[in-house]
Structure 1
Amino acid sequence: MNNKKTMYILLPLVLVLWGYIIYRFVEQANPELNFANSEPPPLKFNSNKVEKKSYQLLLDYQDPFLRSTNVKNEQADDIHNENQNLVRRLHAWNWPNFTYSGCIRNHKKVVGLLQINSSNLLVQQGQVYHDFKVYQLYSDSIIMEREGEKRTIVKHRN
């Protein structure tokens, strides 16, 4: 008995819904039905002619890329000499044997597996171990820094 009541209630609702959907579809497909009695408004055309304007480029400025610098700066020579001395000083010592085994990533931090000579270390980016700063950690390499000199150690393949 209960199924008949729901059938009598739901069947007209479904028919009304489908009728409304078909009506909307037909209304959109035939726009002539909506505007059968109305005519489109006349278009207004402005007959004023547009005057062409002419522009003149001012090209009498100096090209910033072709400037010649004939002035020699003495301070630059001093800095260059200091840089050469610094480079010589940086290469005065030898780097130990590094073996990079890869990194472990989780949602908070990255930890690298590094072997310096024979000691195994878990290193993190930015920390200092045996006077070497871990500059950057990647999955296939690590960049180490000591006194401004950086070196890339590639992952050890077994």
Structure 2
Amino acid sequence: MDIIPIIANKVLALKNKTKTYVLIVLVLCIWGIIGYRVLSAINPNAPQIAQQNMEVQFTPNTIKEADNFSVQTVERDPFLGTLYVKKEKKQVIQRPVTKSITWPDVIYHGSISTQHKQIKMFIVSINGLQQFVKPKQTIEGIKLLRGTSQSIVISYKGQRKTVQKI
């Protein structure tokens, strides 16, 4: 009776060993397939290139003559069927060219007004001399026509000019 348990243990041990051997073979096959695919992706086989015929023929295009056409004046409107009426050119009256005037140096510094804004005076430098000027007042031939807090309009020898605040 002592032999039966020994044989049973050997049969069981043999069973476990065969499973182990089978599993080892399967694992090696799977890793072999993975390794083969990695190596074949890294070093792919060069494709076969067929020789092409490299003969080229050149045939120049023939030059066609350009179409000739002419433009004629249209006397009738194609949509309305009426005749065109030519507009007469108006004569442009030319104004006599005024001589350019050399303006004195005018600089606008700002404005001052009373509390009730009844009197508004502007600070203007004319040829480097700073002065207080009221609207409609003339100093050195320069007349102050009107002004705002940002600019003034002055006239000198019949010409007008807008001076911006500095």
Query: How high is the TM-score relative to the length of structure 1?
Result: 0.44
- The structure having more radius of gyration, on CA atoms, is 2
Structure possessing the higher relative contact order (Cα contacts under 8 Å, 6 or more residues apart): 1
Query: How high is the TM-score relative to the length of structure 2?
Result: 0.42
